Amino acid sequence: MAVPYLTSDPNSFAFTSATKRWPVILTQAIDAVFRAIPGPSDEVKTKEGRKIVEELAKLKYELQHNRVLSPLRDDGLPDIAHYNDALVALGEPRWLEVSWLFSECYLYRRIATYFTTTTKWNTFDVFLSSKVTTLRSSLPAILELAQRYDSITTPSTFTDDASSLLFHEIFFICLWGNATDLSLLTTLTYEEIQSLQGSHARKESEKNILANDLDKIYTLLTSLKASGQKEIRVDIVLDNSGFELFVDLYLAGYLLSQGLATNIVLHPKNHPWFVSDVLPSDFEILLNALNDPIDFFITKNESEHEVKHELKTEDAEVITGLFSSLAAFYAEGKLRIRTNEYWTLQDPFWTLPEHEELWEDLKSSELVIYKGDLNYRKLTGDAAWPPTTPFDKALQTLGKGSGCRTLALRTCKADVVVGLDEGIDEKLRQEDPENAKDQAKRSWGWAGKYAVIQYCDGKA
């Protein structure tokens, strides 16, 4: 069994995260709360806000001075005991002497308690401002995709080859988010797609995907549709809000309209998590933005730090048309949102079968898609597996015979990676200019340049 990555390992991204990234995140959180303190107009909220600032500053100090992780304050939610029991089992761990996965989840859960134990701040999203700014900056990409939405959601009359290409491109957009080349959807006939991507552009878009099982997913979903199966449920365990949530909904609209799924269940977090992770409230923000894009992207875009856009009336109508489609799917029960406290536990997803109600629900899905880096870390235990370890082995209890089909869509922003062909990791280490001397670090996998699309059929 591979061992988890530790914050004490100076060659790991765990160490870099704990010593460099987390203090910055806490500083930004302190600033966000400080700016939201109302002053004399609300004495209770002001007093509570100042206390939150003090607690965040104390947490930052403890982190930077490698103090012992203290038990979480009871905020009435059932996962507190789960965290505190784990702390006892770990024997008073310090910030730089513990598994990265545990300490990072603990960090955000502890931040959450500062708000959930108040009367005036208990629904405050300390990361909201950065989420909204990021979403507003994505207007050009949102508009470009919205202009193609009717074409991709019209019941397909394409050849099998063209349908396969379109399927792959939309999943690539869902994988890369706004890092993708949106020109991939410029044209939709097979001949035009081939002309656009042909031998060069398509290879350029795929060359950094180190493992790609997308053909298997296309075969799975098209076969289920062709079989006449009445219900084809697809679940998406979400990652980031903003534009990434938009492309997740875009994928959902495509799958539902083409009959490749009959209903889709989206799984967000239930409190602010890892800065940008999706909350139920983020759906409301995004859908309101799509319903009234001029108000959200133009009228309310007042900050001097935000990129200013223009939006023609006809372009706004294209975006609201996409909203209407998604709203209709939601009203019909084909698109659902389902929260569960499990998604903010510190556990690897290997413990999912122990949470019987959630696990049985996921097993009723034809495909569970896990988005992003954190979900990948949890799927694999955030452990130092040899990179050639088969994906299904790293999944442990979620692997072969589990009864659940698992697809990971992940851009690499951490050390853990499995399912690579022999020699790929070594080659990338040698080519990495940040690690040219001794290749001790897997820093090629820290910046999101590379990705994996990995599938395990646990129903086989």
pTM equals 0.94
Bridge partners (DSSP) of residue 99 are 6
Q: What is the pLDDT of residues 300-348, one digit of tens each?
A: 776 545 556 789 999 999 999 999 999 999 999 999 999 999 999 999 9
Gap between the Cα atoms of 283 and 176, Å rounded: 20
| Tokens found for residue 396 | 């442990």
Phi, psi (rounded to 5 degrees) for 277 = -65, 155
Q: What is the pLDDT of residues 230-269, one digit of tens each?
A: 999 999 999 999 999 999 999 999 999 999 999 999 999 9
Q: What is the pLDDT of residue 192?
A: 43
- Is-contact 151 188, C-beta < 8 A? yes
- Is-contact 326 146, C-beta < 8 A? no
Q: What is the pLDDT of residue 189?
A: 47
Q: What is the pLDDT of residue 303?
A: 57
Q: What is the pLDDT of residues 398-445, one digit of tens each?
A: 999 999 999 999 999 999 999 999 999 999 999 988 776 778 899 999
- Is-contact 263 255, C-beta < 8 A? no
Q: What is the pLDDT of residue 196?
A: 37
Residue that is written with structure tokens 């020699």 in the block: 423
- Is-contact 355 283, C-beta < 8 A? no
- Is-contact 78 341, C-beta < 8 A? yes
Bridge partners (DSSP) of residue 451 are 209, 411
Contacts of 443 (CB under 8 A, 6+ apart): 13, 432, 434, 435
C-alpha triplet 388, 393, 397: angle, nearest 5°: 155
CATH class of 133-457: alpha beta
In sequence order, what DSSP letters do the residues of 172-233 get, joined into one string? Answer: HHHHHGGGS-GGGGS--SHHHHHHHHTTTHHHHHHTTEEEE-HHHHHHHHHHHHHTT-S--E
Gap between the Cα atoms of 36 and 302, Å rounded: 17
Q: What is the pLDDT of residue 1?
A: 80
Gap between the Cα atoms of 130 and 61, Å rounded: 23
Q: What is the pLDDT of residue 207?
A: 87
Q: What is the pLDDT of residue 306?
A: 56
CATH domain 13-126 topology: Transcription Elongation Factor S-II; Chain A (1.20.930)
**Domain residue extents for the chain:** 13-126, 133-457
pLDDT < 50 stretches in the chain: 178-202, 304
Query: What letter does residue 260 receive in the DSSP assignment?
Result: S
| Tokens found for residue 77 | 């939610």
Gap between the Cα atoms of 155 and 237, Å rounded: 26
Gap between the Cα atoms of 34 and 28, Å rounded: 10
C-alpha triplet 318, 129, 305: angle, nearest 5°: 80
Gap between the Cα atoms of 145 and 326, Å rounded: 14
